[in-house]
Amino acid sequence: SAAPTVDLAEAEEFLRLHHSEHPELGPVEYRLAEMHAEVAATGTYRHTPDELTFGARVAWRNSARCIGRLYWRSLKVRDLRDLRDPKEVADECVEHLELAGNGGKVRPVISVFAPDEPGRPAPRIRNEQLIRYAGYVGSDGGVLGDRRNVELTAAAIDLGWRPPARRGPFDVLPLIVEREDAEPAMVELPPDAVLEVPIGHPELPWLADLGLRWHAVPAISNMRLRIGGIDYPAAPFNGWYMGTEIGARNFADVDRYDLLPYLGRRMGLDTSSVRTLWKDRVLVELNRAVLHSFTQAGVTITDHHTESDRFLTHVEKEEAAGRSCPADWTWIVPPMSSGITSVFHRYYDKRELVPNFFPGDTEGV
Ligand code: HEM
Ligand SMILES: N/C(=N/c1cccc(CO[C@@H]2CCNC2)c1)c1cccs1
């Protein structure tokens, strides 16, 4: 027999949850006995496809920082647990992006690759998201592109990635997949797997000439999915964007694209003092540009008002189902116009439930 590497209490709690929410599965006792026998023999157990699908959907439902959970039942789950080879994992991530992008009608998808098992290390995706723009540090210390990805860009170059002849602010980085006992794989994303939206403004024609753009599919690839005591370190998942993520954070943060001062001047605002609220006026127009452009391009996007109302509907539905809906106010409340969104005006249950997603071990490396 092998020493159990899996937390038996967490495994049992998960199987009981699965049967309680799906009575059609019959009594849980048989499954519990099977699990205990497998753990006694091998130190771990294997989820059935149904358990994996249910577990991934509940992990989303338990993600306290996620405002988009109303549609948690619709998550498409790709069972790729037999894949451990870094190159194969990278290639399936390209498939994931094509399936999720769906020509603009973005679908929430998760791909679950091999779990950590005794003596069989799992693959891990180095990139924080499947699609990331390069960040190049200039000799003057300035950065061309996304400052957040300066280290990832250097890692890709170290692995042999050649930036385009003319470096730009939106060069898509290759995917890097690592496994402790294998060579890392680095795969360029083919253009048709990377749906992008050019950014223009409904009333300011000059904005389109700036060449701003963003990718349609946000796909988090460095978090660990934990289900019933089993960890899946490579389980990239995507939804669609809420406009503020791009307009109020990616384009606005000083340590990202830092566009507010430039756009303020182009809009002819008095940027000499914050008291003119010039930053706030630029922020609104930049976010209107993002929502307008995605809609024009036929790419799914949601605004922070609609998404706030949807989330509170989700909280009500969960409570009607007899479940508490854990939520982290500091992440749920959007990064602009907070007080005029519905989620601002209440408290939330902050417990941490499992199944769930946790920071990966490449987090903040
Ligand atoms: C379908 C549309 C979805 C929308 C609009 C949405 C929206 C968001 C937003 C705005 C955040 C905060 C991100 C930030 O502040 O940087 C977030 C966090 C999160 N979302 Fe969702 N989400 C969606 C789907 C999903 C799906 C499908 C999953 C997983 C299956 C998911 C899991 C999470 C997790 C785990 C976090 C917290 C990440 C962290 O702690 O770093 N979301 N979501
Ligand atoms: N819209 C989204 N937004 C995010 C969801 C989770 C995390 C993030 C990015 O988080 C980074 C770490 C902290 N802020 C930036 C963005 C989704 C990504 C995957 C499914 S939905």
Over residues 66-97, the pLDDT tens digits come to 999 999 999 999 999 999 999 999 999 999 99
Report pLDDT digits (tens) over 112-156.
Answer: 999 988 889 999 999 999 999 999 999 999 999 999 999 999 999
| Inter-helix orientation angle 8-21/29-42, to 10° | 150
Q: What is the pLDDT of residue 365?
A: 54
Q: Is 66 a catalytic residue?
A: yes
Q: What is the pLDDT of residue 2?
A: 66
| Alpha-carbon distance values, 198 to 88, 201, 276, 296 (Å) | 31, 10, 30, 10
Number of residues in the chain: 365
**Would you give the DSSP letter of residue 268?**
T
Res 336 pLDDT > 90: yes
User: Mutate which of 57, 62, 66 to test ligand 1's pocket (most atoms within 8 Å of Cβ)?
Assistant: 66
Q: Is 245 a catalytic residue?
A: yes
Ligand number nearest to the C-alpha of 235: 1
Q: How far apart are CA 66 and CA 58, in angstroms?
A: 13
Report pLDDT digits (tens) over 149-199.
Answer: 999 999 999 999 999 999 999 999 999 999 999 999 999 999 999 999 999
Res 312 pLDDT > 90: yes
For residue 169, what are the β-bridge partners?
none
Q: Is 69 a catalytic residue?
A: yes
Give 239-265 as a DSSP string: --EEHHIIIIIITT-TTTT--HHHHHH
Q: How far apart are CA 99 and CA 297, in angstroms?
A: 18
Q: In the predicted model, what is the mean pLDDT of the chain?
A: 97
Nearest atom of ligand 1 to the alpha carbon of 109: 27
Go through 327-347 and write b for each residue having 16 or more CB atoms within 10 A of its CB, e for each that does not: beeeebbbbbbeeebebeeee
**Greatest pairwise CA separation for the chain in angstroms:** 74
Res 355 pLDDT > 70: yes
Q: What is the pLDDT of residue 28?
A: 98
Question: Is 220 near ligand 2, meaning CB less than 6 Å away?
Answer: yes
Label residue 275 by pLDDT band (50, 70, 90).
very high
Q: What is the pLDDT of residue 118?
A: 80
Label residue 361 by pLDDT band (50, 70, 90).
confident
Report pLDDT digits (tens) over 213-261.
Answer: 999 999 999 999 999 999 999 999 999 999 999 999 999 999 999 999 9
Of the candidates 66, 72, 126, 224, the residue annotated as catalytic is 66
Burial degree of 78 (CB within 10 A; 0-12, 13-18, 19+): buried
255: Cα within 13 Å, side-chain hemisphere: 3
Sequence-distant (6+) residues with CB within 8 A of 76 are 99, 107, 108, 109, 110
> What percent of the chain is predicted at pLDDT more than 70?
98
Question: Is 237 near ligand 2, meaning CB less than 6 Å away?
Answer: yes
